[in-house]
Amino acid sequence: MKRTDYISWDEYFMGIALLSAQRSKDSNTQVGACIVSREKKILSLGYNGMPTGCDDDDMPWERDGDPINTKYMYVCHAELNAILNRGDVSLSDSILYVTLFPCNECAKAIIQSGIKEIVYMSDKYADQANTIVSKRLFDMVGIKYRRYEPTGRRIQIEL
Q: Which positions are annotated as active-site residues?
A: 79
Distance CA 109, CA 56 (A): 24
138: left (phi over 0), alpha (psi -120 to 50) or beta: alpha
Distance CA 130, CA 50 (A): 21
Count of H-run helices and E-run strands, the chain:
4, 5
Stated as kind and residue range, the H or E segment containing 34 is: strand 32-36
Q: How many CB atoms lie within 10 A of CB 132?
A: 13
> Hey, is 47 helix, strand or coil?
strand
Please state the separation of Cα 116 from the chain's center in Å: 14
The sign of the dihedral angle between the CA atoms of 16, 18, 19, 22 is positive
